[in-house]
Amino acid sequence: MPTSVPVSWYLILSAILFGLGVAGFIYRRNIITVFMSIELMLNAVNLTFITFSYTLKQVDGHIFSFFVMVVAAAEAAVGLAIILTVFKNRETLMIDDVSSMKY
Partner 1 sequence: MFLWLIPILPFLGFLINGLFGRRMPKSMVNLFAIGSVTLSFLWAVKTLVGLSPLETKYIEHYFTWIQSGALNISIDFAIDRLTAVMLMVVTGVGLLIHIYSIGYMADEDGYYRFFAYLNLFMFFMLVLVLAQNFLVLFVGWEGVGLCSYLLIGYYFLERFATNAGNKAFIVNRIGDFGFSLAIFLVVRQFGSLDFTKVFDAAKPMPTETSAGILTTICLLLLVGAAGKSAQIPLYVWLPDAMAGPTPVSALIHAATMVTAGVYMTARSATLFTHAPIAMDTVAVIGLATAFFAATIGLAQTDIKKVFAYSTVSQLGYMFLGAGVGAFSAGIFHLMTHAFFKALLFLGAGAVIHGLHGEQDLRQMGGLFKHMRITAITLLCASIAISGFPFTSGFFSKDAILVAAYERAPWMYWVGVLTAGMTAFYVFRAWFLAFTGEYRGHAHPHESPLVMIGPLMLLAVLSIFGGFINVPHWLEPMFGERPENQTLAWLSAGVGVIGIATAYLFYVARPGMADGFAKAMNGLYTLVYNKYFVDEIYDAAVVTPVVKGSRIFLWRGIDAGLIDGIVNGFGSRSRGVGNILKLLQSGNIRSYAAWVVLGSVLLLLAIGFGGATR
Partner 2 sequence: MTALIFFLFASIAVFCGISLVTQTHPIASALSLIGVMGSLAILYLQLGGEFIAAAQVIVYAGAIMVLFVFVIMLLNAGAEGTSLQMSNFAKYAGIFVLAAFLGLISFVIQAMLPKTEGVVFGAFQGGTALNIGRKLFTTYLLPFEVTSVLILIAILGAMVLARREI
For partner 1, the binding residues (CB under 8 A) are 22, 25-27, 29, 34, 95-96, 98-103
Burial of 62 (0-12, 13-18, 19+ CB in 10 A): middle
Binding site partner of 101, from partner 2, partner 1, none, Cβ cut-off 5-8 A by kind? partner 1
Binding site partner of 95, from partner 2, partner 1, none, Cβ cut-off 5-8 A by kind? partner 1
Position 60 contacts partner 2 (CB under 8 A): yes
Q: Is 22 or 36 the residue whose CB approaches partner 1 more closely?
A: 22
Give the 3-state secondary structure of residue 94.
strand
Position 45 contacts partner 2 (CB under 8 A): no
Q: Which residues of 2-26 are buried (b: 16+ CB within 10 A; e: fewer)?
A: eeeeeeeebbeebeebbeebeebbe
